[in-house]
Amino acid sequence: MQQALVDLYNQYLGSFMPKELFIFFVSMLPLVELRGGIFIASLLKIPLWKSNLICIVGNLIPIPFILLFIKRIFEVMKKFKYTRKIVEALETRASKKSAGADRGEFTFLFLFVGIPIPGTGAWTGSLIAALLEFDIKKAMLACLIGVVLATIIMDLISYGGLQFILNAF
């Protein structure tokens, strides 16, 4: 998927959109988020420090909006038959992913956001926090720490640090 986004950028957007703006928007997308943004930034040869700054900011922007407004948005969406199933599926997915979150919610949330495996990340973590009514300040901090952890892991994977470490042993 990331290579498809790079191809999209190179073919259609590269002539008028700076690559830094592109990775900023990619980092804001659900599912792709910072993980995809950093990987794409490495493919586009954006320096590590710049990619980290841009992708972290891009990934953090949606979090307060999700935490504050998603329950109200879901209530409105449930009133329409076409969007009700989407909301119910998202709520079911969030509740399945949140098993064990009631114990140690802060640790659960920052690890959930920070460990880059499919189905995790700041969007889903914020959704879980909102639906389970976590304290908003703790949820924001846990998401921030999780995004920083995800950044470190993705830097190692995307910019060759992991290969460097493996070759050292």
**The pLDDT of residue 37:** 93
Does residue 85 share a domain with residue 117?
yes
Digits of tens for pLDDT over the chain (169 positions)?
A: 667 777 888 888 888 899 999 999 999 998 899 999 999 999 999 999 999 999 999 999 999 999 999 999 999 999 998 899 988 888 887 777 666 666 688 999 999 999 988 889 999 999 989 988 899 999 999 999 999 999 999 999 998 876 656 665 5
Residue finishing a domain among 44, 60, 76:
60
Number of domains in the chain: 2
**The pLDDT of residue 49:** 94
**The pLDDT of residue 93:** 76
d(C-alpha 143, C-alpha 16), whole Å: 33
Total residue length of the chain: 169
Residue 165 is assigned to a structural domain of this protein = no
Helix 62-77 vs helix 48-60: angle between axes, to the nearest 10 degrees?
A: 30
Residue 99 is assigned to a structural domain of this protein = yes
d(C-alpha 60, C-alpha 128), whole Å: 16
**The pLDDT of residue 56:** 97
Does residue 25 share a domain with residue 93?
no
Does residue 42 share a domain with residue 10?
yes
**The pLDDT of residue 11:** 87
**The pLDDT of residue 4:** 79
Does residue 69 share a domain with residue 128?
yes
**Which value, to the nearest 10 degrees, does the dihedral of the CA atoms of residues 78, 83, 88, 90 take?**
-120
Q: For tokens 């998927």, name the residue.
A: 1
Residue 162 is assigned to a structural domain of this protein = no
Q: What's the one-letter identity of residue 76?
A: V
Residue 161 is assigned to a structural domain of this protein = no
**The pLDDT of residue 2:** 63
Task: Give 124's contacts (C-beta < 8 A, 6+ positions apart).
Answer: 30, 93, 94, 97, 112
Does residue 105 share a domain with residue 37?
no
DSSP 13-51: ITTTS-HHHHHHHHHHSTTTHHHHHHHHHHHTT--HHHH
Does residue 72 share a domain with residue 125?
yes
**The pLDDT of residue 44:** 92
Give me the domain span that covers residue 87: 62-153
Contact 13, 22 (CB under 8 A): yes
**The pLDDT of residue 166:** 60
Decide: helix, strand or coil at residue 103.
Answer: coil
